[in-house]
């Protein structure tokens, strides 16, 4: 699998990935190389692959329970699932996507980076699966209320939904929190998460009843 030139990792990346920074750099290269060639990410994403993609997704890593089982819904190019597996080697991540070319890319990345002991790839729609994981993650996959409905069958009772949201969801936070609470979800929040020097997405968190 070929790679492409990518911007150097910013200082924040060393703190996030530690001794796995080299793997994160290799993953960034794959996203910007074959990821762009196959339409997994857009052609202009290379110059902002760290800030927009890897570090933005890594803001979820500190909030994962120790040794968590994580399902990444609509994983696409592995965001945030692969990033979380790199930042938190104790967790086990299942990447779920329904599109064949994305699943093929994910399998190649997992093999290239030798992450098969911590990452599994499943071709399916989230609503077709039944699991009992600790955390479900996603990144701008769908309306958050619909996503919560899909995720309910993937989480154990007390498990948590952690979603990287767009600004539209953040602006409608009151209505989203009210609707999820009405549907039985607990501790619903939509909050910005700070990462020095990086413009990051708001994070939706909700606990499955």
Q: What is the pLDDT of residues 71-114, one digit of tens each?
A: 999 999 999 999 999 999 999 999 999 999 999 999 999 999 99
CATH code of the domain occupying 58-207: 3.40.50.150
Q: What pLDDT is recorded for position 199?
A: 64
Report CA-CA distances (Å) from 122 to 7, 60, 62, 131, 208: 31, 21, 25, 12, 23
Q: How confident is the model at residue 4 (pLDDT cuts 50, 70, 90)?
A: low
**CA contacts within 13 A on the Cβ side of 29:** 14
Segments making up each domain of the chain, as ranges: 58-207
Integer-rounded Cα radius of gyration of the chain: 16
Tallying the residues shown for the chain, one arrives at 209
Structure tokens at 158: 């007390």
- 190, 202 contact by CB (below 8 A): yes
187 compared with 166, residue with greater pLDDT: 187
Return the pLDDT at 192: 77
Strands (E), the chain: 69-73, 92-97, 119-123, 133-139, 155-164, 186-191, 203-207
What local confidence, expressed as pLDDT, does residue 134 receive? 98
Mean pLDDT of 173-187: 95
Judge contact between 93 and 85, C-beta under 8 A.
yes
Cα–Cα nearest to 51, from 10, 19, 92: 10
Q: Are strands 69-73 and 133-139 parallel, antiparallel or unpaired?
A: parallel
Calculate mean pLDDT across residues 134-157: 92
Q: Are 87 and 116 within 8 A, CB to CB?
A: no
Q: How many Cβ atoms sit within 10 Å of the Cβ of residue 18?
A: 12
Question: How much is the pLDDT for 20?
Answer: 97
Degrees, nearest 5: CA angle 86-90-95 = 55
- pLDDT of 49 reads 92
């Amino acid at each position: 699998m070929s790679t492409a030139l990518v911007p150097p990792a910013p200082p924040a990346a060393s703190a996030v990935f530690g001794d796995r920074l080299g793997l994160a750099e290799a993953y960034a290269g794959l996203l910007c190389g074959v990821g762009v060639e196959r339409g997994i990410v857009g052609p202009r994403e290379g110059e902002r692959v760290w800030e927009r993609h890897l570090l933005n997704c890594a803001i979820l890593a500190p909030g994962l329970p120790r040794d968590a089982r994580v399902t990444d819904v609509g994983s696409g190019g592995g965001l945030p699932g692969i990033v979380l597996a790199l930042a938190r080697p104790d967790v086990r991540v299942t990447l779920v996507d329904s599109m064949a070319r994305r699943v093929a890319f994910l399998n190649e990345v997992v093999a290239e980076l030798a992450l098969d002991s911590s990452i599994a790839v499943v071709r399916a729609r989230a609503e077709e699966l039944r699991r009992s994981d600790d955390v479900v993650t996603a990144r701008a996959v769908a309306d958050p209320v619909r996503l919560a409905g899909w995720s309910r069958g993937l989480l154990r009772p007390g498990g948590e939904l952690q979603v990287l949201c767009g600004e539209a969801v953040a602006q409608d936070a009151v209505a989203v929190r009210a609707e999820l609470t009405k549907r039985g979800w607990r501790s619903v929040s939509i909050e910005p998460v700070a990462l020095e020097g990086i413009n990051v997405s708001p994070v939706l968190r909700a606990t499955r009843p």
